[in-house]
Amino acid sequence: MENDDIEKEIDELIGKTTELTIRDQVKNNPLTREESKAQFVRITEQLGIKHSFDFDEAYDIGLEIRRRNDFRKKINKLQEDITKIPGTSGEAIHKINPVKHTFAGGCYIREIYNPANELIVTKIHKKEHPFFLMKGEMSILTEEGIQHIKAPYQGVTKVGTKRVIYTHEECIFTTVHAINTTSIEEAEEEIACMRYEDLPPGSDALEIMKKINLK
Residues 52-65: pLDDT tens digits?
667 777 777 778 88
Where do the domains of the chain lie?
3-83, 90-196
Helices (H), 111-211: 184-191, 205-210
Amino acid at 215: K
Of 61-65, 101-105, 164-168, 182-186, the range with the lowest mean pLDDT is 61-65
Report whether pLDDT(148) > 50: yes
Tell me the Ramachandran region of residue 105: left when phi exceeds 0, alpha when psi lies from -120 to 50, beta otherwise. Answer: left
DSSP state of 103: E
85, pLDDT greater than 90: no
What is the reported pLDDT for 211? 74
**One-letter amino acid for residue 121 of the chain:** V
Answer whether residue 20 shows pLDDT above 70.
no
For domain 90-196, give the CATH superfamily: Jelly Rolls (2.60.120.10)
**Number of residues in the chain:** 215
Question: Band of the pLDDT at 21, cuts 50, 70, 90?
Answer: low
Alpha helices in the chain (DSSP H): 3-28, 33-47, 55-83, 90-96, 184-191, 205-210
- Name the DSSP letter for residue 158: P
Residue 107 vs residue 32, higher pLDDT: 107
